[in-house]
Structure 1
């Protein structure tokens, strides 16, 4: 028993999506968060545009990073 060293799979943040995330959408709400505060939504390839568009239209999206490069 114990920790096998493998990380838990990451799942897309889109409601009802069970796909593995390929993207990290880094964002913050400037009305609520300090400029250095960052929150992260995860997105699969299919939902990346939808989720990033939702954040971008509100001025929340800071960057969209492939999961392989994300250091969170």
Structure 2
């Protein structure tokens, strides 16, 4: 297992995706937060943020520290 694991609570699976987001009410436009996600949870994490109207995008994670 790598040191880059999925951000979903309780998941210990290696990350394969970056879920990049920000909360526009408190973050400046250039501020971005990154959650890592496994294949199983990438949609869940993206949808969780999108439901809150946060700008969100998903990119492949190459294993380098975000």
TM-score w.r.t. structure 2 length?
0.87
Cα 1:70–1:24 change in 2 (3 A) is farther
Partner of 2:22: 28
Flag the structure with larger Rg.
1
Q: Quick one: which of 12, 37, 49 aligns to 1:18?
A: 12
Partner SS for 2:62: helix
Q: Give the match for residue 4 of structure 1.
A: none
Structure 1: 4+ residue segments shifted above 3 A? 69-72
Superposition deviation, residue 60 in structure 1: 1.5
Q: C-alpha separation between the residues in 1 aligned to 2:36 and 2:7? A: 5
- Extract unaligned runs of 5+ from structure 1: 1-7
Structure 2 gap ranges (5+): none
The residue aligned with 2:37 is 43
Report the TM-score when normalising by structure 1: 0.80
Q: How well do the aligned residues superpose, as a CA RMSD in angstroms?
A: 1.9
Structure 1 or 2: more helix by fraction: 1
Deviation at 1:59, TM superposition (A): 1.6
